[in-house]
Amino acid sequence: MTKTIKFTMRHILTLMFALVCCLQISAADDFDTFMKRIRKDSRRNPNVEKWLKLYDAEKGSFSDIDYSRNDITNWPPQKHLERLEDWAAAYVNEKNKHFEDETLADNIIKALQFWQDTNPNCKNWWFNQIAEPQALGIILIQMRAGKKQVPQELEAAILKRMLTDGGDPAKWTGANRTDICLHWIYRSCLERNEKDMQKAMQLVFDPIRYTTKEGFQHDGSYFQHGTQLYIGGYGDEILKGVTQVAMYALGTQYALDNDKVQLLSHFMRETYYPSIRGKYMLYDVMGRSMSRVNTLNKSRMAIFARRMIKLDPTHADEFKQIVERLTGKQPASYAVKPTHNHYFRADYTMHVRKGYTFDVRMVSNRTSRLEYGNKENLKTYFVSDGCNALVKNGDEYFNIFPAWNWTRIPGTTAPQMPEVPLAQHDWQQEGTSQFAGGVTDSIYGATAYAYDDTWAGINTKAKKAWFFFDNEIVCLGSGITSTNDNTVLTTLNQRLAQKTDAVLYAEGNKVVTAKDGDHIKASNINWVSHDGTGYVFPNGGNVMLDFDTQKGNWKDINRSMPNREETFQVLALSLDHGIKPADASYAYIVVPEAGDAKSLDAYCKKQHVNILSNTTDIQAVEQTDLGIWQAVFHKPSTLNARNITLTVDKPCIVMVRRHNNGNVTLHVADPAQKQEPINVEIKLKGSLKKAVKQMCDFTGTGIYAGQTKVYKLK
């Protein structure tokens, strides 16, 4: 027995030793796999002649770069590393005429030495800890495959610099953590440093989880810089980093586990890509980056979907369809499915139909306004206050922003102040409203916002509500009151309008074509039509229609942008509430696919929707074709309408739907997120034999306090 035990243990130890050796070989093989994939990912065939003309081979520097600059955006010295990335790519690419060119290799080495000796530094930590070490890592990995190597002493010094200046990813969150992990991975591969590689791989994928801090939220949205919605911008960054590394790690010991793959996939399919219409992203989900030139064009983000085809083959067809839209091979409507999502953590609603997308961006005391840090997005203040983006092709707002009137943001109710105020804080400024939220059944929904702003003399408040169906969005406002000395407008839209796009409006029984340069103000306009979209005024109102050129400079909205003036033909459509309105209201219906004037007239006569109430207590709408009633209750009250009576004991949003089979469902949400029971009583003529009382218990719902609850009544 004793001999048998010794024999067995000896074999076990031998097997363990062999396993350790295999693991060590596997780790080494993984380093090689990573570097091959990194080289392939950064492979290109650049034209490097223009940089050679500016290069001082003796110094190792470029004559057009001021290396003493420390600008917080567009840091000039970073161009040095970008050019070296091009050179390294050319040097190792057999199709480039400088392939294995010894002079080019010497230039790269000299330029790396210059960088190491000069030690440029930026005021903005992002360049020092992310952009610079990432670029250095790519250059070194490329050069490892070259005929002439970077001297070992210089490479070691650069790797040390990357570690020292790059910082510890564990101290960061979200996209910033991922970006720092990326250059840790580069360095670990070059050093064959398994310990740092394991740490980097654990941390790079760590943000792929739901959190109440910065990162992926439980409602499917994404936060960065505190509680600020950042589907684009930092959302781009997190997806760029994690999908990139996941592709490097595919099939290795570091491969991304399936649960995280599915979280990524869900975010991309249900939130990120739906916020891109065609190849253009909705402007209000991008944070301060909305003020950058060409920023809405996300065609290059098709690469994330291409990666997911391999990472998540179960949904490969959906990702292929996304790629087709982003690359322009298919129209913006291709394979788009109808959805309605209210992101209760983010105070954001996105309504998607095959022919259009319409959203609502709000801010509450639970979330933050759009930021204007680093002197970007300097006129953003009103964008957070119930703004809307209406897109069909996707390019309706492309690069319009320097020419925008930033007090006439689509969807907002705001005084026309001569200067747009800045929020008290540039990075993280919480809102003041508690009542901001929405109800949804995933296809239809309603959103409400109790707007009340006393900052910087704005002194304006309103109860705002949006009701979403297939063919229309009903927009209501009540209790509009202001002590500001400027005219208060509710803006329906302010978008690009080329002179070839007819702007029509119905004045009584007469259809008029607006002329270039028109500034129209009238109280008897029934509807306005432009680009196939109708704006209907069921209760009239003082309509302002401006169809004219607007000018502006990029530098005025973003100090890092070029000093360049833009001129655009713009359609701006608003309702005028006058100066210091008291309890004013508005009602308009957006019909995104109204078609021509005849079709829009027919739509208006059919009366598909009934506005049941538009007061400071209740805002409610009935969609007769769908059998849907939606009501926003700003206080405990009762809605008495022709076919329905609704009573609630607390502020809430209610949606009742009578289905074709006679079944009735109730959806309830609490925009204030108070986590208290809400009692609803319903009488529905022809469907419910008697009044139904339903207690909707939000007690203890925590982070899900703003989520919709659903009940089957019949």
Q: Is 74 helix (H, G, I), strand (E, B) or coil?
A: coil
Amino acid identity at 453: D
What are the φ/ψ torsions at residue 491 (nearest 5 degrees)?
A: -100, 125
> d(Cα 131, Cα 135) in Å, to the nearest integer?
6
Nearest to 572 by CA among 397, 386, 332: 397
Strands (E), 508-659: 510-513, 518-522, 525-530, 533-536, 543-553, 565-579, 584-591, 609-614, 618-623, 628-633, 637-640, 644-648, 652-658
Q: Which residue among 222, 230, 234, 248 is the active-site one?
A: 234
- Cα 231 → chain centroid: 3
- Per DSSP bridges, beta strands 618-623 and 609-614 are antiparallel
**Residue 494: strand pairing partners:** 572
Q: Is 234 a catalytic residue?
A: yes
> d(Cα 515, Cα 547) in Å, to the nearest integer?
7
Q: Is 288 a catalytic residue?
A: yes
CB 105 within 8 A of CB 148: yes
Nearest to 690 by CA among 708, 659, 664: 664
Amino acid identity at 237: E
> d(Cα 190, Cα 160) in Å, to the nearest integer?
12
Q: What is the dihedral of CA 525, 531, 534, 535, to 10 degrees?
A: -60
Q: Which residue among 39, 80, 225, 657 is the active-site one?
A: 225
Q: Which residues of 693-708 are buried (b: 16+ CB within 10 A; e: fewer)?
A: eeebebeebeebbbbb
Q: Please, which residues have CB within 8 angstroms of residue 142's CB and are 6 or more apart in sequence?
A: 39, 42, 85, 88, 89, 91, 92
Q: Which residue among 39, 187, 288, 408 is the active-site one?
A: 288
Q: Is 280 a catalytic residue?
A: no
Hey, what are 108's tokens? 């790269």
- Helix 2-41 vs helix 234-249: angle between axes, to the nearest 10 degrees? 130
Nearest to 528 by CA among 558, 570, 573: 573
CB 192 within 8 A of CB 185: no
- Distances, alpha carbon 51 to alpha carbons 116, 133, 349, in Å: 20, 21, 47
Nearest to 75 by CA among 112, 124, 15: 124
- Per DSSP bridges, beta strands 637-640 and 644-648 are antiparallel
Secondary structure tally for the chain: helices H, strands E: 15, 35
Active site residues: 225, 234, 288
